[in-house]
């Protein structure tokens, strides 16, 4: 039996989609006789036609993947999307480097390893991108005899 009209009417009354309308399989003949909105509404009141519950999307898998990523899994080459610079932007790399260099310079100055003039010189060089790491900067200062 074709119950599309009844399903459409029930969906509009229940304010759900047509696919969420449930019709009792044992009462199909009675439902097929209902052709008005009022008769469909009575069937809904009797419980012959109901709205199925909304189906949610389980977050189990995504949570599991998140836990694995927290442990450091799933980070191989195949999982990487985007270029190296997209995942680790130039600006962030620069900020990380320059902050480390400036911190080291301040420590060296406070520990009286370098005088203020040398500090200023090395600071400017660091800003200009002369050193790629703290160890490079220290070796430069050692090689050029800038340490006290």
**In this predicted structure, what is the pLDDT of residue 60?**
97
From 43, 5, 37, select the one nearest 23 (Cα to Cα): 43
Q: Are 74 and 65 in contact (CB under 8 A)?
A: yes
- Tell me the pLDDT of the chain averaged across its residues: 95
Q: Helix 90-110 vs helix 116-127: angle between axes, to the nearest 10 degrees?
A: 170
Residue 105 CB neighbour total at 10 angstroms: 22
**Fold: same for 4-51 and 86-143:** no
Give, in words, the CATH class of 86-143.
mainly alpha
pLDDT tens by residue, 100-143: 999 999 999 999 999 999 999 999 999 999 999 999 999 999 99
> Domain ranges in the chain?
4-51, 86-143
Report the C-alpha gap between 126 and 128 in whole angstroms: 5
pTM summary value: 0.54
User: What is the dotted CATH code of the domain comprising 4-51?
Assistant: 1.10.1650.10
CA angle 145, 147, 148 (to 5 degrees): 115
- The pLDDT tens digits of the residues spanning 45-91 come to 999 999 999 999 999 999 999 999 999 999 899 989 999 899 899 99
Residue length of the chain: 148
């Amino acid at each position: 039996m074709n119950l599309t009209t009844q399903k459409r009417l029930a969906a509009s009354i229940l304010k759900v989609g047509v696919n969420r309308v449930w019709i009792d399989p044992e009462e199909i003949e009675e439902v097929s006789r209902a052709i008005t909105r009022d008769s469909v509404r009575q069937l809904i009141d009797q419980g012959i036609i109901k709205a199925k519950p909304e189906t949610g999307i389980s977050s189990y898998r995504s949570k599991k993947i998140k836990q694995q990523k927290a442990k450091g899994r799933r980070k191989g080459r195949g999982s990487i999307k985007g270029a190296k610079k997209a995942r680790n932007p130039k600006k962030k790399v620069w900020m990380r480097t320059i902050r480390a260099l400036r911190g080291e310079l301040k420590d060296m100055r406070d520990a009286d390893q370098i005088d203020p003039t040398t500090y200023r010189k090395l600071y400017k060089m660091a800003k200009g991108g002369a050193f790629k790491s703290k160890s490079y900067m220290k070796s430069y200062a050692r090689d050029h005899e800038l340490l006290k």
